[in-house]
Amino acid sequence: MQKTVLSLFIFILFVSCSSDFEGFKIKGKVNGGKGKTIFLSYSGQTDSVKINSDNEFEFNGTLSEPDFCNLYLDRTNPILLFIDSINNFTIEIKTDAENFAQNYSVSGSKTSQQIKELQSKLIQTFQNVKNLYNTMIANNNDTLHRDSIQSLYVKKSNEIVQQHRQYVFNFIKQNPSSFACLPAIYQAFDSRNPLFNYEWDAYYFNFIDSALNTSHPNSMHAKEFHAQVLQYKQQFANLQSTQLNTQIPTEAPDFLLNTSNGNTFRLSSLRGSFVLLDFWASWCSPCRYENPNLVNAYKKFAKKGLHIVQVSLDKDRNAWLQAIEKDNLSAWTHVSDLQYWNSPVAKLYNVQAIPANFLIDPNGKIIAQNLRGEQLFSTLEQIFSSVKKHKKKK
């Protein structure tokens, strides 16, 4: 009896151990893929196998640490995966040859599932914006309402993109130690239209950097991202230094405009204070992305003497006022002539694109311009620290 129990125990132990394996396995099914070659790129190498008669494939490999990999039939259309563990780890993929990277399911890897969810959301966002654009083009012959149709398209598309950005921000906050945060913060509609960049979104780049280095201090990807963030910081520090030390101060042109609450405002009325003069519009996505930075800057530096004046290039008064309320901007002065790009004040400051801003010193001189994100904060910190030291000497 004892021998029987012992033999059974040894058999169970053998079966249990034999189910484990070194390295990773990626397998799956590609409907319509019979006979095609499928590729897997990882850790500087590329493997390939033929999809069998049952439309199935399998890769086996080894890694020194968890890593990203690309699975593809066509290099321009890969499925991005993440191998969460270097041993006894299996990812399973189900897809079809025609819509390989768009219509797939993944199991076995939490990070890969997160990447899939983020990518699906991006594809849907892009499609929603594209549908709006097609609707606008279809109504382009309506010359009577063309401007209002285009304004509505810009407004709605900005809202869609902003909702997607907020979705990604929420994901990052809820999953700070996930490597899926890396492809998330680099999402783009195409190479010329990234949805995030360090200039506007320094907080989230720094947040991911800190979280990954805390949870995965030895990871190659955490170290590479940290180096990238340091490079971004240095680039902005250099730009800030150039603007503060070599830019010749020029007189800020004075102007008189109507405010959002129906009064009039003259810029020179703030002579004696530091003023951040910001040109924006409710329809401008980059402007709306930057507004939270203005809110935080005002909270930090208003008590030290900073005033913010925003000049809107809107045409629609209601859209302008709604954006002020929605973005929580009511703490400072808002002005506009509602003349869009024909605004005389925009021409006075030679504003060719927005957002655009000008930092004006107490003497009415422009001392810096186009400060955004972390560069805005570091510049204001440097200026007000200098002012404080100067007052102490007196």
**28: closest CA among 111, 97, 75?**
97
Which pLDDT does position 354 carry in this prediction? Answer: 86
Structure tokens at 157: 């598309």
Which pLDDT does position 10 carry in this prediction? Answer: 41
Residue 194 gets which letter from DSSP?
B
| Domain parsing of the chain, residue ranges | 24-108, 113-243, 250-393
> Are 244 and 382 in contact, with CB atoms under 8 Å apart?
yes
Q: In angstroms, how far is CA 291 from the centroid of its own chain?
A: 15
Could you tell me how many residues make up the chain? 394
CA gap 298, 308 in Å, rounded: 7
**280: closest CA among 383, 187, 351, 379?**
351
Q: Which residues contact 128 (CB under 8 A, 6 or more apart)?
A: 160
Q: Which residues contact 25 (CB under 8 A, 6 or more apart)?
A: 58, 59, 60, 89, 90, 91
CA gap 284, 282 in Å, rounded: 6
| CATH class as words, domain 250-393 | alpha beta
Domain boundaries 24-108, corresponding CATH code: 2.60.40
The 8 Å CB, 24+ separation contacts for 291-297 are 291/327, 291/329, 292/327, 293/200, 293/372, 293/373, 293/376, 293/377, 294/329, 295/327, 295/328, 295/329, 295/331, 296/377, 297/376, 297/377, 297/380
Q: In angstroms, how far is CA 254 from the centroid of its own chain?
A: 36
pTM of the model: 0.67
Mean pLDDT by 10 residues, the chain (394 residues): 45 45 93 96 94 97 95 90 94 96 95 97 93 82 68 78 91 96 92 79 90 96 94 74 57 95 95 96 84 91 95 93 92 95 92 89 91 84 75 53
**311: closest CA among 269, 282, 274?**
282
Rg (CA), the chain: 28
The amino acid at 128: N
Q: 146-174 and 285-301 are packed helices; what angle lies between their axes, rounded to 10 degrees?
A: 60
User: Is 250-393 the same fold as 24-108?
Assistant: no
